[in-house]
Amino acid sequence: MKYSAERIYVRFWNVDDAALLLDLQVRNRGEIENISASDRDESFYSLEGQRSLIESWNKKREEGNRYSFGIFYIQRMNSSVKFLCSRSYWILPQNGSLVI
């Protein structure tokens, strides 16, 4: 899935995006840790940690349980892409109970 507009696009994560996600996680570590319920060790803040995270998101998407995607900004001057934000949604089963 990919949605494109003139200056942004939205798509599911792939492991090639690990460096972009790592940059986001490191720059916003304090904020993320303040609002997140999960404990993260130092391995989380590594390229391999982000690859593992993306792989787990993609596995959950294949199972129909979670949809994690990035919103990216296209910089026209040098045709580069800048990551803007990440979003994830849990899909609840029909009985309404969430299984993680």
Helices (runs of H) and strands (runs of E) counted in the chain? 3, 4
Say how many C-beta atoms besides its own lie within 10 A of residue 70's C-beta.
Answer: 21
Q: Please compute the mean of the pLDDT values over residues 16-39 and round it to a whole number.
A: 85
pLDDT digits (tens, 9 = 90+) for 65-85: 888 888 777 766 555 555 555
pTM, two decimals, is 0.71
pLDDT digits (tens, 9 = 90+) for 29-47: 888 888 877 788 899 999 9
> How far is the C-alpha of 85 from the C-alpha of 87, rounded, in Å?
7
Q: What's the token pair of residue 48?
A: 């391999």
Contact status, residue 22 vs residue 70, Cβ threshold 8 Å: no
Q: List, in order of start, the domains of the chain with CATH numbers.
A: 2-90 (3.40.630.30)
